[in-house]
Structure 1
Amino acid sequence: MNFNGPLETSALRQVEICDSKLTDQLRLNAIERSRMMDSPNEEVFDRLAFLAAKFLQVPLTIVSIVGDKKQFFKAAHGLPSPYDVSREIPIEDSICRYTLQNEPIIADDATKHELLKHHPTIGPWGIGAFIAIPMLTHDGQVLGAFCAVDTKAKPWTEDDILMLKELTASVMREIHLREKISELEDESQLRDKFVAAISHDLRNPLNVAKMGAQLLSDMDGDEEERADISRVICENVDRADKMIQDLLTASRLKAGDKMPLEVTFGDLSALLHSTVESLQKGHRRAFHFESEKTIDGHWDFDRVRRVVENFSGNAVKYGDESKPIRISVEDHPESARISVHNYGPSIPSDEIDNLFNLFKRAQSARDSKHLGWGVGLTVARSLAEEMGGRIEVESTEEKGTIFSLHLPKVKPSLH
């Protein structure tokens, strides 16, 4: 921005802060989620602009979305031509961009305001008095501002400022409501896909188990063959049981219910050793287990096993089949860290947080041949948090993908 004169130190600092916010990706993501940028005129917002103009007795009010390249007029009252048609100005001409530090701009006389007096749009727009209230989201991102403009200098009263703040809050309530409705619609679509996926995934192991049981009933003799079929039946019933467990746990999480911990004192390494043996048999893949020593502590063994099985199941599905999956445990003074490492396609850093949202999957997983529900990692994170622990993910093309479970050795607070 090229101002028409030198700025005072405080105004210059405000400009620097707001300029840095202008291209902040979290803020731009919030604008995208709001779906306000470049959207059509809507009566609900136009009416708020009209009410602001009437109450403040000003000729111009604007509800603006401040992007990184332009300021978009979502709603306005009294907007002059040609802006009433284009509904935007270049970001270089924007005054509302200087609310991005979440501070209002209140100028009784714009020609004397430390920031506005040298702004190049003050003269061409005929701005005398100016007020702008930031439009703040629940997570602290400023989408833009609700502005009021008078062609003459005038003192803004406390009631003027309060009214515009209340109308700005009304704008944000409408935006938040729409976002929530959109989330619910997306969740409904994801739930439909989830039902289709679980129906397919459950049908496979149950069909295999059913066929095996029919074969057993028709067979005579060969004990070794009967044992192999029995093993296949058990493996597939176990698969179906795990799916049902995850489904029930996800349903419990959605309802906000918490199950009591079943914590006992014991050796974490011994649990992981038996878990790896079971995984080796069930997946018929090479697993390498690395443990420094006996690691005693208070653990919920069933929850730990389920988290490790979840990590390992993903490593089997999405990892490089030619390379072993490595499971390790590290001992720390007050905690332990369990890691499951595999080589294969990496997970982009901007998708990692999304992995733990219910019914959500990484793009690489969606592009793969493997069906999935987007439930397992949601369950895993909840189980970890219930044990007082946390999950970390590291993923690069060179080093592969590592899912880590950090657990305290002390007995967590019971729910």
Structure 2
Amino acid sequence: MTYDPVGHLLLTPVDKDAPDRARRLRALGLGQRHEPAFDAFAQRLAETTGAPVSMVNFIDEERQFFAGLHTPSAAPGPVAPGVGAVARSLARDHGYCPHVVVRRRALVLEDVYDYPRFAGNPVVDEIGIRSSLGAPLVDRTGVALGTVCVVDTDVRPWGRAGLETIKAMAAELMEEIGRREDARR
């Protein structure tokens, strides 16, 4: 993890599983291009949770890649700095999905300002993210491939219902990825 001598906080988690995850993503053919099916899943995730921005996010050794992304034109989403256009990738030190993957557990941040460890994340200042809800995508081999997540620029009371929803949708997507893998064999 990165140590911030000013805040004495561990900011970006050390990800010892990144090389194995990258190999598994390549074997599954995931994380290199966006897929309309994942965009549709992200849209359904946004509709289900009521969040303006949602993602199917695969994380390799270098970056996060949004193979599925829903961000209405009126809502801010992950943007490329200085470009203003929605980007399909983010650095590994941006956002909360790397924490979800390393923890291998869902993460509910109703107000990121309530958590000093997360309030200083670059997405707060650069994109205006104020709340986040994410769950890991753990495949049948036990590898955490990435996440499904939703974010908002407003505080959101996700609660237990939000937590259960994001976990159920992550499980649903992993079933679909498992079916894809079976069909490839």
Cα distance per residue 1:159-203 (max 9 Å; x no partner): 221111111112111111111222x2xxxxxxxxxxxxxxxxxxx
- Distance, in Å, in 1 between the alignment partners of 2:182 and 2:62 is 27
Shift of 1:3: 5.6
Shifted more, 85-94 versus 117-126: the winner is: 85-94
**Is the aligned partner of 1:177 residue 2:179?**
yes
- Distance, in Å, in 2 between the alignment partners of 1:31 and 1:149 is 24
The question of whether the paired residues in 2 share the 8 Å contact of 1:7 and 1:118 is answered with no
Query: How many residues in Structure 1 have an aligned counterpart in Structure 2?
Result: 175
Larger Rg: 1
Q: For the structure 1 residues 113 and 138, does the alpha-carbon distance in structure 2 shift closer, same or farther, using more than 3 Å as the test?
A: same
- Distance, in Å, in 2 between the alignment partners of 1:58 and 1:39 is 24
- Distance, in Å, in 2 between the alignment partners of 1:88 and 1:64 is 9
- Name the counterpart of 2:35: 41
For 1:51, the aligned partner's letter is R
Match among 139, 162, 165 for residue 164 of structure 2: 162
The question of whether the paired residues in 1 share the 8 Å contact of 2:95 and 2:122 is answered with no
Q: For the structure 1 residues 38 and 141, does the alpha-carbon distance in structure 2 shift closer, same or farther, using more than 3 Å as the test?
A: same
- Distance, in Å, in 1 between the alignment partners of 2:174 and 2:6 is 35
Q: For the structure 1 residues 81 and 35, does the alpha-carbon distance in structure 2 shift closer, same or farther, using more than 3 Å as the test?
A: same
The question of whether the paired residues in 1 share the 8 Å contact of 2:34 and 2:68 is answered with no
The question of whether the paired residues in 1 share the 8 Å contact of 2:133 and 2:162 is answered with no
SS in structure 2 at match of 1:121: helix
Match among 15, 18, 36 for residue 20 of structure 1: 15
For 1:28, the aligned partner's letter is A
**Is the aligned partner of 1:129 residue 2:122?**
no
Match among 62, 66, 69 for residue 76 of structure 1: 69
Point out the structure with the larger helix share: 1
Match among 50, 54, 70 for residue 43 of structure 2: 50
- Name the counterpart of 1:213: none
The question of whether the paired residues in 2 share the 8 Å contact of 1:71 and 1:94 is answered with no
Q: Which has the higher contact order (CA 8 A, sep 6+)?
A: 2
The question of whether the paired residues in 2 share the 8 Å contact of 1:136 and 1:172 is answered with yes
- Distance, in Å, in 2 between the alignment partners of 1:2 and 1:125 is 23
Structure 2 regions of 5+ residues with no counterpart?
72-76
- Distance, in Å, in 2 between the alignment partners of 1:4 and 1:129 is 26
- Distance, in Å, in 2 between the alignment partners of 1:117 and 1:22 is 25
Cα distance per residue 1:215-248 (max 9 Å; x no partner): xxxxxxxxxxxxxxxxxxxxxxxxxxxxxxxxxx
Shift of 1:7: 4.5
Structure 1 regions of 5+ residues with no counterpart?
185-415
Q: TM-score, normalised by structure 1?
A: 0.39
- Distance, in Å, in 1 between the alignment partners of 2:158 and 2:147 is 17
The question of whether the paired residues in 2 share the 8 Å contact of 1:7 and 1:114 is answered with no
Q: Percent identity?
A: 22
The question of whether the paired residues in 2 share the 8 Å contact of 1:7 and 1:115 is answered with no
- Distance, in Å, in 1 between the alignment partners of 2:88 and 2:112 is 23
Cα distance per residue 1:226-285 (max 9 Å; x no partner): xxxxxxxxxxxxxxxxxxxxxxxxxxxxxxxxxxxxxxxxxxxxxxxxxxxxxxxxxxxx
SS in structure 2 at match of 1:93: coil
Let me know the Cα RMSD of the aligned residues: 2.4
Match among 5, 14, 26 for residue 32 of structure 1: 26
The question of whether the paired residues in 2 share the 8 Å contact of 1:62 and 1:147 is answered with yes
The question of whether the paired residues in 1 share the 8 Å contact of 2:62 and 2:92 is answered with yes
- Distance, in Å, in 2 between the alignment partners of 1:128 and 1:146 is 17
Q: For the structure 1 residues 95 and 66, does the alpha-carbon distance in structure 2 shift closer, same or farther, using more than 3 Å as the test?
A: same
For 1:151, the aligned partner's letter is T
Shift of 1:75: 0.5
Shift of 1:39: 2.2
For 1:20, the aligned partner's letter is D
Shift of 1:4: 9.4
**Is the aligned partner of 1:118 residue 2:113?**
no
- Distance, in Å, in 2 between the alignment partners of 1:3 and 1:50 is 36
